[in-house]
Structure 1
Amino acid sequence: MSDVVVIGGGIVGVSAALFLAEAGASVTLLEAEAVAAAASGRNAGSIQHPMDAVRSELYEESVAIHRRFGVIGDEAAGLLVVGPDADAAVAGAAAFPGLRAEPLDAAALRAVEPEMAEGLDGVLVHGTGYPAHPAAATHRLAEEARALGATIVEGVRAVPEVVGGRAVGARADDGTLHAADRVLVAAGPWSSALADPTGEWSPVSALWGVTMQVALPPGHGVRHRIEEWDEPFDAGVQFEATPLDDVTVLGASRTIETPDETTYAAAILSRAARFLPILASARTVKAATCARPVTPDGLPLLGPVPGVEDLHVAAGHGPYGISLGPASGRIAADVLLDRSAVPTAFATDRPSLGRGAHA
């Protein structure tokens, strides 16, 4: 029997397992497929500031955790914002120490990012945009969790076992009960359905996205995390690029329904080539589709599931999973161990979640 069973092997689940084990708790993590199989391994590959006050502390702590375990170094690549709404980045960055927004005209933009198309201007936000290979952060934290004594079992699909209004563990598809004093559901967009199969409590939903990995021709590269700031999306896609050691990650799409990967990958590449013409000569390495977990107010969901004793949830980070997940996992662990309370902004019964927040 474990102190805690965690359901879900994404960045939030493995972070919670790490901090639970570090605190001396016995923890078993059950993952239906493989660690980082979903959004935590299919993201845009950038750890970056959300530029809002509510989530900024999660970001700062997550950056410190990523540094502690060698996921990122001390220097950020910088976030380069282009598009009609780029000037909003100046005001957004101004509210946070450590971020400095530098407006760039077309010549200055091409000086810092030579592959950019001519005639564009933008804003360079220093101090954020840490490249991290999509699955690297999650695998590194899972490795550390195992080293601290956490048991991580892949290929086991499980649901919370609730008896008399209290969670007593997780029941696997083969009927095995993994007994525990408390259960944490950290299953991304599927968290609500696992926590409450009736559907009455459903504050987390799926927002689907497609990303691509491409290899640029020799001698060419991207230096910064780049994002197009423009609403609404053009044909469901918007340009973003993250430089990694061997590939550049391109994105992204946002759809409520599961997208056709081939169609959206072509649309992403076409739009991205407007900003980075060299992409016309790039080699496609792979495309990836994932569901991002979102909430009605855009804020993570951390803490006890209303109406069920000893059942907790940690989900709803949207496109900021690897940017906010480690700190969220730490908070989830502390709440499970009765060492701290859930921050009000991330409470599971907050009014901003709407009707679906209350069981």
Structure 2
Amino acid sequence: MYDAVVVGGGIVGSSIGYHLARAGVNTVLLDRNDEGRATTAGAGVISAATSSRTADDDWFEFATDAVGYYPELVSQLECEGYSDTSYGRLGTIGVAIEADELESYDETVARIDSRQSDLAPVDELDPAAAVDRFPPLAEPKRAFHHPGAARVNGDVFARALRDAGREHGLTTMTSDVTEVRIDGDQVTGVETASGSRFDAEHVVIAGGAWSSAFGEQLAVEIPVTPKRGQIVHLEHPNADTGTWPIVKAFRHHYIVPWPDGRLVVGATREAGVGFEPRLTAGGIHEVLEEALRVAPGLADATVVDRRVGLRPVCADGMPVLGAVPDIDGAFLATGHGATGLMLGPYSGKLVADHVADTGSVPDHFSVARFEDSSETK
């Protein structure tokens, strides 16, 4: 028998498993390795300041804490012998390439300026200086630099969490959980498609876009749906891309540099597609067209990979974290949308602390908020 079962091995579930094991909670992480997992197909921009969500106070406070937790967690993993986390702080340059982006540019700068007590200031860049920092860039009409942004490879970071977790006693298995077992109002474990049973007093559903499948069993609505995101990996020959900043334009796309000439460009935001993690001609065209609009110097780059993921988007845009009402031992950790790689490790820590009864999750992330909302209609 285990103390806790974590269902889902993306960056959120891996963080929960790691933090529970580190706290001495006997934990098993069960993952079925879904095709289209968001963790695998995210570019990994870690920046609360430049997100369009910055104006939302609750989201911003949480995201700022999550971004701030990354260096602490990376240092902790390094001390435990896991230095290959992929985390790197690069800074961001925001660029308005065309006139129709200037309004969004000004709004972003104003939001960051309004948060000066929480964020480092942005520095206005001469357009030519922006090109110096990111040579393939088209010369922008306006540009700023923000030093706080970082990037992370979701798969690499999640693997480091699981590997470190196993050193603390975490058990990980490939398994398809089909049922959360409940006796009265108490969780007793889970059952898998193969008929295996895992007994436990606590079960955490961290299944990304697939989490809502457990709503009926838990007698609660989990309003999380998949939103498809397609990205492209490019290789730019003879370029020191490891020193370049992240580029944020103002049509909801980005360019994220990695060492050895690699850049990740994306992403589409496709709602209403269901559970279809398909690469599409239109999606790849959108990604490449926008990348070349912003950075025409990438036209000769080699396409080395294309990825697609289903982001778990919650009805109100906020994650669902914490205990399930009226069922002791049941917890949720899902609904991070396109910001799962930014928020996931910190979300995992908070939920793990909640399970271990050493901390709590803010009430406004509880799934109970949807019950409350429906009652007032």
Q: What's the TM-score once normalised by structure 2's chain length?
A: 0.84
What does residue range 266-277 of structure 1 map to in structure 2 within 5 Å? 266-277=285-296
Asked if the contact 1:192/1:199 (under 8 Å) is kept, the reply is no
Q: Which residue of 1 aligns with 2:345?
A: 326
Q: Return the alpha-carbon distance in structure 2 between the equivalents of residues 205 and 21 of structure 1.
A: 30
Q: Which residue of 2 aligns with 1:235?
A: none
Q: Does 1:248 align with 2:247?
A: no
Q: Return the alpha-carbon distance in structure 2 between the equivalents of residues 288 and 356 of structure 1.
A: 40
What does residue range 198-347 of structure 1 map to in structure 2 within 5 Å? 201-219=221-239, 221=241, 223-230=244-251, 238-246=252-260, 247-256=262-271, 257=273, 258=276, 260-263=278-281, 264-347=283-366
Which is further off, 289-298 or 160-169?
A: 160-169
Task: Report how far residue 43 of structure 1 moved.
Answer: 0.5
What does residue range 115-194 of structure 1 map to in structure 2 within 5 Å? 115-128=136-149, 130-194=150-214
Q: Which residue of 2 aligns with 1:106?
A: 127
Q: 1:124-158 CA deviation, whole Å, 9 max, x = no partner?
A: 11122x22224111111111111110001124444
The residue type equivalent to 2:336 in the other structure is H
Q: State the superposition RMSD in angstroms.
A: 2.5
User: Which residue, 48, 53, 63 being the options, matches 2:61?
Assistant: 53
Distance 1:102 1:186, change over 3 A: same
Q: 1:162-195 CA deviation, whole Å, 9 max, x = no partner?
A: 2323321111101111110110000111112224
The residue type equivalent to 1:21 in the other structure is A
Q: Return the alpha-carbon distance in structure 1 between the equivalents of residues 122 and 300 of structure 2.
A: 31
Asked if the contact 1:189/1:315 (under 8 Å) is kept, the reply is yes
The residue type equivalent to 1:262 in the other structure is T
Q: 1:260-300 CA deviation, whole Å, 9 max, x = no partner?
A: 51311122112210111122111111111111112223222
Q: Which residue of 2 aligns with 1:91?
A: 110
Asked if the contact 1:15/1:325 (under 8 Å) is kept, the reply is yes
Task: Report how far residue 27 of structure 1 moved.
Answer: 0.1
Distance 1:57 1:134, change over 3 A: closer
Which is further off, 333-342 or 153-162?
A: 153-162
Task: Report how far residue 87 of structure 1 moved.
Answer: 2.3
Asked if the contact 2:177/2:192 (under 8 Å) is kept, the reply is yes
Q: Does 1:6 align with 2:6?
A: yes
Q: 1:91-150 CA deviation, whole Å, 9 max, x = no partner?
A: 23231545221122422321322221124422211122x222241111111111111100
The residue type equivalent to 2:293 in the other structure is R
Asked if the contact 2:123/2:146 (under 8 Å) is kept, the reply is yes
Percent sequence identity over matched residues? Answer: 28
**Structure 1: where are the runs of 5+ without partners?**
231-237
**Structure 2: where are the runs of 5+ without partners?**
55-59, 78-82
Q: 1:24-66 CA deviation, whole Å, 9 max, x = no partner?
A: 11000000127x9711121013222254234322321234213
Which is further off, 303-312 or 205-214?
A: 303-312
Q: Return the alpha-carbon distance in structure 2 between the equivalents of residues 135 and 259 of structure 1.
A: 17
What's the secondary structure of 2:361's corresponding residue? coil
The residue type equivalent to 2:256 in the other structure is T
Distance 1:45 1:351, change over 3 A: closer
Distance 1:108 1:172, change over 3 A: same
Q: Does 1:25 align with 2:11?
A: no
Asked if the contact 1:55/1:299 (under 8 Å) is kept, the reply is no
Asked if the contact 1:210/1:289 (under 8 Å) is kept, the reply is yes
What's the secondary structure of 2:253's corresponding residue? strand
Q: Return the alpha-carbon distance in structure 2 between the equivalents of residues 280 and 209 of structure 1.
A: 22
Q: Return the alpha-carbon distance in structure 2 between the equivalents of residues 352 and 320 of structure 1.
A: 24
Distance 1:199 1:179, change over 3 A: closer
Q: Return the alpha-carbon distance in structure 2 between the equivalents of residues 169 and 157 of structure 1.
A: 10
Distance 1:250 1:199, change over 3 A: farther
What's the secondary structure of 1:210's corresponding residue? strand
The residue type equivalent to 1:13 in the other structure is G
The residue type equivalent to 2:287 in the other structure is I
The residue type equivalent to 2:15 in the other structure is S
Asked if the contact 1:206/1:294 (under 8 Å) is kept, the reply is yes
The residue type equivalent to 1:348 in the other structure is V
Distance 1:353 1:190, change over 3 A: farther
